[in-house]
């Protein structure tokens, strides 16, 4: 079997032979090939699990039916994977990535470790959006968003720059909430701390993650959901306010910028400038997977939610981020660094 790395990149046929632009050429290229999906995290995480479910079905919908393999490429919060895809991965249509969504704002926010321009990637699509939420345990006195502004709320986190720290910090900064952020927890330990009353809140994690890991919290109404982070409301939370609707002016633009990666929550992407016919074939195959009965059954078993976006829709969101004002970009960068210090659990 011919083995190549699946890179969505810009490939030009020697001599400009028109055959390369035909469906037959795409099928001929992928027949006997191997497509790699590089995941920006270790095996077993949420992005890895989504990539593996997609990988089981994607090859059947690409002309030529190539083999699909998943490779884990963790490091630097997902930057190792994104930098590799942009700078080193083959650009012939045999390399894909399932990266962390948050890395794609880092070049705009001035991170020197981000060696790529997200506007130049070949975006294939996303399986799902992500809506962060602030939730409290049912036995706490915090039942509404206004309660978060009335008295101190202990919010647990894994690290000062982790999502459960940056979002309480954001709300304190722009909406006058009174979160006290306490760190030192593992992901599992943080959930246990909420259940045992050691912390009042977990704020910022996606509802999709909570529902996959702790569905009983919602089934048994053990948590209060007080505010949600997204550009649109989650279908199961029609009465929970959107944080962005509580803001005006530049504050709203800052939050809009921070939330854009969550809108394309589980993206699949290829290198820049891959051949247009292979780009179109990969996008069509990805869209077909999302309608495949076998894939839908596998996603259901894995408790993975689906709210897909197309490649062009993701491109539009990236362009939207780059239209933010310089002052909004600077404020977003400061917020996403998280608080300068947090308390540690005892």
| 125 and 19 within one domain | yes
CA dihedral 253, 255, 259, 261 (to 10 degrees): 60
Pick left, alpha or beta for residue 15 (phi over 0 → left; psi -120 to 50 → alpha; otherwise beta).
left
Handedness of CA 72, 110, 313, 301 (dihedral sign): positive
- DSSP code of residue 55: H
Q: What are the tens digits of pLDDT across the range 180-211?
A: 999 989 888 999 999 999 999 999 998 988 88
| 150 and 124 within one domain | no
- pLDDT level of residue 41 (50, 70, 90 thresholds): confident
In-domain check, residue 312: no
Going edge to edge, which strands form the sheet with 267-270? 67-72, 34-39, 95-98, 267-270, 122-126, 309-310
Least confident of 80-84, 162-166, 167-171, 297-301: 162-166
% the chain with pLDDT above 90: 73
Total domain count, the chain: 2
- Which helix (H) or strand (E) element contains residue 64? none
| 103 and 187 within one domain | no
In-domain check, residue 319: no
* pTM metric for this prediction: 0.82
| 278 and 216 within one domain | no
pLDDT of residue 313: 97
Tokens of 247: 């803001």
pLDDT of residue 117: 97
1 CB neighbour count, 10 Å cutoff: 8
Question: How far is 53 from 296, CA to CA, in rounded Å?
Answer: 9
| 197 and 339 within one domain | yes
Range of the domain at 145: 132-259+331-344
Question: How far is 83 from 88, CA to CA, in rounded Å?
Answer: 8
| 337 and 215 within one domain | yes
In-domain check, residue 55: yes
CB distance 183 to 341 below 8 Å: no
pLDDT of residue 9: 35
Q: Is the pLDDT assigned to residue 160 strictly greater than 90?
A: no
Q: In the chain, where do the E strands start and end?
A: 34-39, 67-72, 95-98, 122-126, 132-137, 153-156, 179-183, 201-206, 223-229, 267-270, 309-310, 343-344
Q: What are the tens digits of pLDDT across the range 287-324?
A: 999 999 999 999 998 888 899 999 999 999 999 999 99
In-domain check, residue 316: no
| 249 and 164 within one domain | yes
In-domain check, residue 284: yes
CB distance 63 to 30 below 8 Å: yes
The pLDDT of 76-87, averaged and rounded, is: 93
Tokens of 180: 């006290």
Q: Reduced to 3 states, what is the DSSP secondary structure of residue 161? A: coil
In-domain check, residue 5: no
Q: Is the pLDDT assigned to residue 143 strictly greater than 70?
A: yes
pLDDT of residue 21: 54
CB distance 153 to 194 below 8 Å: no
Q: Is the pLDDT assigned to residue 171 strictly greater than 90?
A: yes
- pLDDT level of residue 8 (50, 70, 90 thresholds): very low
Q: Is the pLDDT assigned to residue 14 strictly greater than 60?
A: no
| 118 and 20 within one domain | yes
- pLDDT level of residue 3 (50, 70, 90 thresholds): very low
Handedness of CA 250, 254, 259, 260 (dihedral sign): positive
- pLDDT level of residue 339 (50, 70, 90 thresholds): confident
In-domain check, residue 320: no
Which residues lie below 8 Å from residue 144, measured CB to CB, with a gap of 6+? Answer: 226
Of 240 and 13, the structure prediction assigns the larger pLDDT to 240
% the chain with pLDDT above 70: 94
CATH of the domain at 162: 3.40.190.10
Long-range contacts of 239-243 (CB under 8 A, 24+ apart): 240/133, 241/145, 243/171, 243/175
Q: CA geometry: angle at 127 spanning 125 and 129, to 5°?
A: 100
| 65 and 21 within one domain | yes
Least confident of 8-22, 65-79, 90-104, 212-226: 8-22
| 123 and 29 within one domain | yes
| 219 and 147 within one domain | yes
CATH of the domain at 301: 3.40.190.150
With b meaning 16 or more CB within 10 Å and e meaning fewer, what string describes 240-275?
A: bebbbeebeeebbbbbbbbbbbbbbbbbbbbbbbbb
| 242 and 100 within one domain | no
pLDDT of residue 6: 40
Q: What is the mean pLDDT of the chain?
A: 90
In-domain check, residue 36: yes
């Amino acid at each position: 079997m011919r083995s190549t790395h699946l890179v969505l990149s810009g490939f030009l046929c020697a001599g400009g032979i028109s055959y390369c632009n035909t469906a037959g050429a795409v099928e001929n290229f992928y027949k006997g090939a191997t497509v790699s999906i590089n995941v920006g995290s270790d095996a077993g995480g949420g992005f890895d699990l989504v990539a593996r479910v997609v990988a089981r079905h994607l090859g059947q919908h690409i002309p030529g039916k190539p083999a699909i393999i998943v490779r884990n490429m963790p490091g630097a919060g997902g930057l190792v994977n994104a930098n590799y895809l942009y700078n080193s991965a083959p650009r012939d249509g045999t390399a894909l990535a399932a990266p962390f969504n948050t890395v794609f704002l880092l070049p705009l926010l001035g991170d020197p470790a981000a060696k790529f321009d997200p506007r130049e990637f070949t975006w294939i699509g996303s399986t799902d959006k992500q809506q962060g939420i602030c939730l409290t345990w049912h036995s706490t006195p915090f039942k509404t968003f206004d309660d978060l502004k009335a008295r101190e709320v202990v919010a647990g986190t894994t690290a000062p720059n982790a999502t459960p720290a940056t979002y309480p910090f954001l709300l304190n900064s722009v909406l006058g909430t009174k979160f006290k952020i306490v760190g030192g927890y593992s992901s599992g330990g943080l959930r246990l701390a909420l259940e045992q009353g050691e912390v009042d809140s977990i704020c910022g994690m996606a509802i999709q993650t909570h529902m996959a890991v702790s569905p009983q919290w919602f089934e048994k109404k053990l948590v209060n959901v007080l505010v949600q982070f997204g550009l649109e409301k989650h279908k199961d939370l029609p009465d929970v306010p959107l944080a962005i609707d509580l803001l005006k002016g530049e504050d709203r633009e800052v939050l809009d910028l921070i939330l854009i990666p969550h809108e394309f929550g589980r993206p699949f992407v290829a290198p820049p400038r891959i051949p247009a016919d292979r780009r179109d074939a990969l996008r069509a195959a990805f869209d077909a997977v999302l309608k495949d009965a076998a894939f839908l059954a596998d996603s259901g078993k894995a408790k993975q939610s689906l709210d897909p976006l197309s490649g062009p829709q993701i491109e539009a969101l990236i362009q939207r981020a780059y239209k933010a004002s310089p002052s909004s970009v600077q404020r977003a960068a400061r917020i996403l660094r998280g608080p300068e210090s947090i308390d540690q659990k005892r």
